[in-house]
Structure 1
Amino acid sequence: MAGALGVGLLSLALSGCFYANTSQAPIATTYPYSEQQRMQAAHHWEILARHEASQILQRERVRFRDLHIKNPHPDGYIPYSGGEFDRGFRTFLTSELVTRGANVTTAAGANSVDVIVDVEIVEHRDRGFIRPPTGAFTALTAGIAVATIPINHWAEPALGLIPAGIAADVFSGSWTYTGNEEIIITTQVVDGDRILYSSSNIYYINGGDRRQYAPQRVHYPDPAIPLTDTW
């Protein structure tokens, strides 16, 4: 009885100390676990175009309108200016909409609405610690534990690495590094000053692929200045 009373008083005292503590700034915490895909193949552009075409044609206000996929560069592209995603995604989106029976036009008309695609690059310059993928520590420790078994039971200790390799093959297919480069891809259907449809998706990208999405934000080195003789 006395022991239970002591535990209760101790719990009450600790809870009082907890609420008495204060902080001059909010304590940093994390968001719930979530996943975000990495876009690093033209096939991924096709998958996104398929998704957007399906979503666009589900909107009653858009379904029976003529769709004009607007070219952000009406005067054409500068040779080797980049922006492969812009050209590729609009091509995929056109194909997906036509396949689904949509009325896609090459020029704006009286019954048409504009389909606009916008890409925003996000570059993180000072990220803190990022937790490894779920299961990383489990797979690693399991591999280490299994690798010690053959020392006593198997003739060849190196065979102990086989279970660890299997575990790596099972888990590593869904792992990729987080990186500091992200893109926000927004697809909108616009009728004059009215937005009839809007969808935004976020992906990680490889740092070297920035030119595919935002060539205007890639800095190229200045061309070398040829040396000439002064005498």
Structure 2
Amino acid sequence: MSLRIWGAICLAATLSGCFKVNTSQVPMATTWEMSDQQRMQAAHHWDVLARNEARGIMANQRLRSRPLYVFSPQPATPFERGYHSLLESQLVQQGALVSTQPEGSVIINPSVQVVTHSDRGSIRPPPGALTFLAAGVAWAFQPLNHWSEPALALIPGAALFDAFSGNITEVGNTEVIITTRATEFDTLLYSSSNIYYINAGDSNHYESRSGLRVSSQW
């Protein structure tokens, strides 16, 4: 590598370091660390959530031996009806005392909030996605001048895609926050919140279209 190229690299590195000491009129935007968030798109996923919450409730010393009443709002959304039954079933399987009446019981009250983003800006692909794509293109075109059967090059790439395609899903603009709380009188004994992506067309499973709802809170 010539001295001229080395000089350009050193100059660029020096200038990039100078930007750190400059001031700014507003805070500069930065990104979050890479994290995962699951997509909920099957009734089975509701059962998985109910099982996890039942385990969390039964792990609470103040709730393990108490009668529990799972509240369901009226009218209930498809998710609320399904989650109510699934949570009751999972609690019984975990050995909980599940009551059919709220009197004298700890109230288990799930709540749901649908969040729809209208302007999320650009979302870059996960790390390695572009490298994987470039490697796949190179692998597909490399045999054209060297192999008698170039189409055979597609088989390893297709197999690799099949192996990992189940982990790929779009981010989407619709999310749901599901909170399961246990209360007695004015005391919060347990609270657990989970956030999932959902398909935009499934928001009516979680969001009530009626303005009148019955709550367990007085």
* TM-score of the aligned structures, taking structure 1 as reference length: 0.80
In structure 1, which of residues 79, 83, 90 is the aligned counterpart of residue 84 of structure 2?
Answer: 90
| Secondary structure of residue in 1 paired with 2:148 | coil
Aligned-pair CA distance for 1:15: 8.4
| Secondary structure of residue in 2 paired with 1:198 | strand
Quote the residue 1:223 is aligned against. Answer: none
Quote the residue 1:116 is aligned against. Answer: 109
Gapped regions of structure 2 (runs ≥ 5): 1-10, 211-218
State how far apart, in whole Å, the 1-side matches of 2:60 and 2:141 are.
59
**Would the alpha carbon gap of residues 128 and 46 (structure 1) be closer, same or farther in structure 2, given more than 3 Å must change?**
same
Quote the residue 1:224 is aligned against. Answer: none
Quote the residue 2:66 is aligned against. Answer: 65
| Secondary structure of residue in 2 paired with 1:196 | strand
How do 1:126-137 and structure 2 match up within 5 A? Answer: 126-137=119-130
Deviation track 1:83-106 (CA, whole Å, cap 9, x = no partner) reads 111011111100000111110011
Aligned length: 202
State how far apart, in whole Å, the 2-side matches of 1:45 and 1:153 are.
52
How do 1:38-57 and structure 2 match up within 5 A? Answer: 38-57=39-58
State how far apart, in whole Å, the 2-side matches of 1:197 and 1:150 are.
61
- Amino acid in the other structure paired with 1:190: T
How do 1:63-212 and structure 2 match up within 5 A? Answer: 63-73=64-74, 77=75, 83-110=77-104, 112-212=105-205
State how far apart, in whole Å, the 1-side matches of 2:125 and 2:159 are.
19
* TM-score of the aligned structures, taking structure 2 as reference length: 0.85
Q: RMSD over aligned Cα, in angstroms?
A: 2.4
| Secondary structure of residue in 1 paired with 2:167 | coil
| Structure 1 segments (4+ residues) deviating >4 Å | 13-16
State how far apart, in whole Å, the 2-side matches of 1:24 and 1:174 are.
41
State how far apart, in whole Å, the 2-side matches of 1:122 and 1:189 are.
23
Aligned-pair CA distance for 1:16: 8.1
State how far apart, in whole Å, the 2-side matches of 1:177 and 1:191 are.
40
Aligned-pair CA distance for 1:19: 4.8
- Amino acid in the other structure paired with 2:29: A
**Would the alpha carbon gap of residues 16 and 141 (structure 1) be closer, same or farther in structure 2, given more than 3 Å must change?**
closer
> Which stretch has the larger CA shift, 152-161 or 197-206?
152-161
Conserved 8 A contact 1:69-1:115: yes
> Which stretch has the larger CA shift, 138-147 or 33-42?
138-147
State how far apart, in whole Å, the 1-side matches of 2:112 and 2:92 are.
23
State how far apart, in whole Å, the 2-side matches of 1:216 and 1:57 are.
33
